[in-house]
């Protein structure tokens, strides 16, 4: 089955955000975080069944889907209750709406680099923003908890991503417990983006939900979706887990009248993947590891970049050292590769490469990246 990931999926002229940006240009797109793989066959099978039925009216969340979400978290050592689940059309919806939940007296802590919608939502809010710069330690992007403890204000909100986007860090239990101490001490709250929690690239690593750490459940809104795992982001289906009853009620009221329900096909695909997608996912992880190892072998010896080895996600973050231009995205495009610019993540000088594609495309991109880097010094 793993061979299916070697089969190129022609996404040109399919309204693909990733590919149509460079329409009619010789630029390999390795930027926006979706994958160039066909989604599992179980999705198409489930779609056909609904299409044969022919009805696409207003749709409630099926009980079976909530039960699958509960089982999904049970397998990951978190026993959630059904009424904690809040369904959404996408995670960016939550990221922007969360600022309506945050009072004007509360500040927001935004780590850098960070997934751009977190950064953009913060910049467009009227809240006080406190930036916390993640540090490279032993090849990982991590928090400096001493600094964070000094920077954080009482009653503030933290925007947290685990596994981290763009760095691919999976935070250990010890790190989460250290973070939890600060959260409790400062009476903080957290929006925890865990959309890449399925992308654990090594059996030696484990993703732990922040809300399962002692004292954290009532302080954390966990957001998630199967859209990254099974490459169904265009189907607009996500959810969040909110154990805190008062917070959940307030958040639902904010969403009411402003936020549509997930699409019917998003619900269908999510349910199909939860029930029958595990074999496809396991093969995907094996393939992504091959891609990751290829990139690390190809570029780790270079002295002009600092690479963060991703432990989770299919995203490789690297910092360009002593570059002669600040327009790095445009520079790489001149050499035929489309990457995500670190400026969009709040960290100029960094670049993010999406290796969720077939290995042949990465082998074509590698010499172009080398030439682009050679031309930067």
- 164 in Cβ contact with 116 (< 8 Å): no
**Residue 78 to residue 71: CA distance in whole angstroms:** 9
**Residue 103 to residue 101: CA distance in whole angstroms:** 6
Q: Residue 224's beta-bridge partner residues? A: 239
**Residue 224 to residue 235: CA distance in whole angstroms:** 14
**Cis bond before residue 113 (omega within 30° of 0):** yes
**Residue 273 to residue 268: CA distance in whole angstroms:** 9
Going along the chain from its start, the domains and CATH numbers come out as: 2-41+278-374 (3.90.1150.10), 56-276 (3.40.640.10)
Place of tokens 């959309």: 195
- 28 in Cβ contact with 18 (< 8 Å): no
In degrees rounded to 5, what are phi and psi of residue 317?
A: -105, 130
Beta strand pairing status for 107-112 and 157-161?
parallel
For residue 328, the surrounding DSSP H or E stretch is: helix 328-334
Task: Record the tokens describing residue 93, joined without a space.
Answer: 């919806």
Over the chain (377 residues), what is each successive 10-residue block's mean pLDDT? 83 95 95 96 97 93 98 97 96 85 88 94 89 96 98 96 98 98 97 97 95 98 97 96 96 88 96 97 97 98 97 97 93 98 96 98 98 93
Q: Is the pTM of this model over 0.85?
A: yes
Burial class (CB in 10 A: 0-12, 13-18, 19+), 208: buried
- 349 in Cβ contact with 117 (< 8 Å): no
Place of tokens 């780790």: 300
Q: Which residues contact 208 (CB under 8 A, 6 or more apart)?
A: 77, 171, 172, 173, 176
**Residue 166 to residue 141: CA distance in whole angstroms:** 9
Q: What is the pLDDT of residue 210?
A: 98
Place of tokens 């489930």: 46
Nearest residue to 101 via CA among 235, 223, 211, 208: 223
Q: What is the pLDDT of residue 104?
A: 78
Nearest residue to 214 via CA among 177, 251, 174: 177
Q: What is the pLDDT of residue 57?
A: 92
Handedness of CA 19, 298, 165, 199 (dihedral sign): positive
């Amino acid at each position: 089955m793993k061979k299916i990931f070697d089969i190129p999926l022609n996404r040109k002229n399919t309204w693909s955000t990733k590919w149509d940006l460079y329409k009619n240009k010789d630029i390999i797109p390795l930027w926006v975080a979706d994958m160039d793989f066909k989604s599992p066959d179980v999705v198409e099978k489930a779609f056909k069944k609904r299409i044969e039925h022919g009805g696409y009216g207003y749709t409630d969340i099926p009980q079976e889907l909530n039960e699958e979400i509960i089982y999904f978290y049970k397998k990951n050592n978190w026993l959630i209750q059904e009424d904690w689940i809040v369904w959404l059309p996408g995670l960016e919806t939550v990221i922007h709406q969360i600022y309506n939940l945050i009072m004007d007296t509360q500040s927001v802590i935004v780590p850098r680099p960070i997934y751009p919608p977190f950064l953009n939502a913060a910049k467009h809010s009227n809240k006080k923003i406190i930036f916390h710069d993640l540090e490279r330690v032993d090849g990982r992007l991590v928090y400096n908890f001493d600094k964070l403890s000094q920077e954080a204000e009482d009653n503030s909100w933290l925007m947290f991503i685990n596994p981290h986007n763009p760095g691919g860090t999976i935070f250990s239990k010890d790190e989460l417990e250290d973070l939890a101490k600060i959260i409790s001490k400062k009476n903080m709250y957290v929006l925890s983006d865990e959309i890449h929690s399925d992308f654990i690239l090594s059996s030696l690593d484990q993703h732990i939900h922040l809300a399962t750490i002692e004292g954290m459940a009532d302080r954390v809104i966990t957001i998630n979706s199967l859209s990254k795992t099974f490459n169904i982001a265009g189907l607009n289906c996500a959810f969040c887990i909110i154990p805190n009853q008062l917070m959940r009620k307030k958040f639902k009221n904010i969403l009411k009248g402003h936020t549509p329900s997930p699409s019917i096909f998003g619900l269908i695909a999510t349910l199909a993947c939860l029930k029958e997608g595990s074999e496809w996912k396991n093969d995907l992880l094996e393939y992504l590891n091959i891609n990751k190892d290829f990139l690390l072998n190809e570029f780790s010896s270079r002295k002009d970049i600092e690479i963060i080895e991703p432990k989770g996600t299919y995203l490789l973050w690297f910092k360009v050292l002593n570059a002669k231009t600040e327009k790095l995205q445009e520079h790489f495009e001149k050499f035929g590769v489309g990457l995500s610019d670190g400026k969009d993540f709040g960290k100029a000088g960094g670049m993010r490469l999406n290796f969720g594609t077939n290995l042949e495309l990465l082998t074509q991109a590698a010499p172009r990246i080398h030439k682009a880097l050679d031309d930067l010094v």
